[in-house]
Structure 1
């Protein structure tokens, strides 16, 4: 899967916003100001949030993902050459987790799912 396809999946999420907060070619995808997907300037992985530290550790131990640098332990770095359906699932799930943690008022201001 290419970085362009990752960006396409991220952009399709309701209320998703792109930024490059650190400069240098990062693709940082946010919903209501909260990151749900991040591709570094080098661009070999996309970092996404998981349900828990345990899920992240499981994905890392089974070789599905790597530890996401600079992020909480509940985040993983999925290689861009992962199976497209797995990568799309992880991006969408990360989006839903981050969106679900927003206040009800902020959630109500976003486009519907």
Structure 2
């Protein structure tokens, strides 16, 4: 597992599942209701992350810092090339994605995360 995947997996309550043609999909929340916050696709050497809002994603795509997330065209998702973006920047973007997704969890799920 790469250092970026380790970083995603070490966030409170985060877990990983392999799905969607072998992608490493990181989620937060319990079981079937877990919500995706990072998708590492080996075939394309990209990570798909949720930005803090749709405007930020659109801006990053417009300036060429990211690409449209092919399977998540709405909701502020963007895909980043693992070779073209600095690892420290991607770690910060992973944390932003995680925080944005955590904010959509129920208050009870959020409370559980704060206990971890």
Q: Same fold, TM exceeding 0.5? A: yes
Q: Distance in 1 between matches of 2:91 and 2:115?
A: 19
2:93 is the alignment partner of 1:90: yes
Partner residue of 2:9? 11
Residues 72-87 of structure 1 mapped to structure 2, 5 A cutoff = 72-73=73-74, 74-81=76-83, 82-87=85-90
Structure 1 unaligned regions, length at least 5: none
Q: CA deviation at 1:44?
A: 1.1
Give the conservation status (yes or no) of the 8 Å contact 2:4–2:87. Answer: no
Normalized against structure 1, the TM-score is what? 0.88
Match status 1:25 vs 2:22? yes
Quote the RMSD (CA, aligned, Å): 1.6
Q: Shift in Å at residue 67 of structure 1? A: 0.7
CA distance in 2 between counterparts of 1:5 and 1:65 reads 20
1:29 partner SS:
strand
* Per-residue Cα deviation, 1:4-61 (whole angstroms, up to 9, x for no partner): 1221111110110100133x42100000100000012414110000122211110011
Are the aligned partners of 1:15 and 1:111 in contact in 2 as well (CA < 8 Å)? no
Q: Unaligned 5+ residue runs, structure 2?
A: none
SS at 2:59 equivalent: helix
